[in-house]
Amino acid sequence: MLDLSNISKSYDGQALLRGISLKVRAGQTVCILGPSGSGKSTLLQIIAGLEAPDSGHVLWGRQDLGSTPAHLRNFGLVFQDYALFPHLNVFENVAFGLKMKNGFPGKATLRVHEVLQWVGLLGFERRSVIDLSGGEQQRVALARALAPRPRLLMLDEPLGALDRALRETLLDQLRGVLRAARTPTLYVTHDQDEAFRIADRVLLLHSGRIVRAGSPADVWAHPGSAWVAEFLGLGDVLPGTIVDTGTHVQTEHGTYALSCGHHHKRGELIHVLLRPHGAPSGTVIRGIVRDVFFQSASYRVMLTNGLHIEVPRAPRIGGVASGNVTPECLGRDRNS
């Protein structure tokens, strides 16, 4: 299906994308997760044919799309600000792609109704898109992109402009729609909750490179680098040196026994992730409480030495608290 190889792009001499390669297989939802300004939107524009890469290839199967203009690629694109046509009503917006493709035959009306039903907007056909709420506009944009049966759907921060409650609802609806449409999907977001909930596969984009790829569970369990661990907020990341026979790491906060099972050499410099958890295993961290904040099932505590732990009951600020963390090595530190 979609196959990107070595895509690079720079703006005004600043490299934005450096050698991006990825694949999206049939029926798969792939999520590109990265902070704002990491070039996610540009990557989608390149795939859609709205921007040309400086180097690299966009392939569909074995076909190179380099010379295929945007309107012949049949890739659907949902924009962050929806980009609905303000002069057309809901029906005309959704029918736009069908009209461009085959001059709008009679059965196209059926297709418009079908996709409007998927997004729960049947009966909205004659409404002006300007009068719709943000969530409704977002769903019209999704229906518009799906109507011409694109072979790939791309969503660029589709829920970015909506409030949290609405985002939750729409995210579940979106999963349903994507399953119904069975279209391979590339989903771009800066929000990890969104990414982990919707994706079959997550790609983390950092300064123009994909720094980690894998299933949500895999990426969560094995972040693989200090940047990913910090971006996902998995715990405290500390630099350290391997001591003893390679089983312990020495940091400014103390020496921890590693539980990763890798083979480390004495004297090696690594980053260690102290992942807090509620279970009574791993290493115990103790300290004076500087701050406490509530986190759905437990309390996250910041100690005066800067480290974090999770505890079931809220301790007193200024008092002593202790909790368990699992020290994990973050690989051979490519990102230091």
Residue ranges that bind another protein, judged by CB under 8 A? 45, 48-50, 52, 69-77, 79, 81-87, 96-97, 100-101, 144-145, 148
Query: Which lies closer to another protein via its Cβ, residue 49 or residue 208?
Result: 49
Report in angstroms how near the CB of residue 274 gets to another protein at its nearest: 43
Identity (one letter) of the amino acid at 121? Answer: L
Report in angstroms how near the CB of residue 64 gets to another protein at its nearest: 18
Helix axes 134-146, 164-181, angle to 10 degrees: 10
How many Å apart are CA 133 and CA 41, to the nearest integer? 24
Closest by CA position to 254, among listed 235, 240, 268, 267:
240
Containing 18, the helix (H) or strand (E) segment is: strand 14-24
Query: Which lies closer to another protein via its Cβ, residue 70 or residue 166?
Result: 70
The sheet carrying 298-303 orders its strands as 254-257, 248-251, 236-243, 269-277, 320-329, 283-295, 298-303, 308-311
Q: Is 231 helix (H, G, I), strand (E, B) or coil?
A: helix
Query: Which lies closer to another protein via its Cβ, residue 71 or residue 175?
Result: 71
Report in angstroms how near the CB of residue 5 gets to another protein at its nearest: 22
Query: Which lies closer to another protein via its Cβ, residue 100 or residue 320?
Result: 100
How many Å apart are CA 59 and CA 77, to the nearest integer? 17
Report in angstroms how near the CB of residue 88 gets to another protein at its nearest: 8
The sheet carrying 185-189 orders its strands as 75-78, 152-156, 185-189, 29-33, 201-206, 209-214
Query: Which lies closer to another protein via its Cβ, residue 48 or residue 242?
Result: 48
Report in angstroms how near the CB of residue 195 gets to another protein at its nearest: 22
Output phi, psi for 257, to 5 deg. -85, 125
How many Å apart are CA 320 and CA 336, to the nearest integer? 33
- The full length of the chain comes to 336
Report in angstroms how near the CB of residue 69 gets to another protein at its nearest: 7
Identity (one letter) of the amino acid at 139? Answer: R
- What pairs with residue 292 in β-bridges? 301
Query: Which lies closer to another protein via its Cβ, residue 140 or residue 229?
Result: 140
The DSSP symbol for 77 reads E
Q: What angle do CA 333, 222, 289 make, to 5 degrees?
A: 85
H runs (alpha helix) in the chain:
40-48, 90-102, 107-118, 134-146, 164-181, 192-198, 216-221, 226-231
Report in angstroms how near the CB of residue 30 gets to another protein at its nearest: 18
Query: Which lies closer to another protein via its Cβ, residue 100 or residue 180?
Result: 100
Closest by CA position to 213, among listed 11, 20, 15:
20
Query: Which lies closer to another protein via its Cβ, residue 94 or residue 202?
Result: 94
Report in angstroms how near the CB of residue 308 gets to another protein at its nearest: 39
Query: Which lies closer to another protein via its Cβ, residue 96 or residue 256?
Result: 96
Both tokens of residue 235? Answer: 């715990």
Report in angstroms how near the CB of residue 60 gets to another protein at its nearest: 15
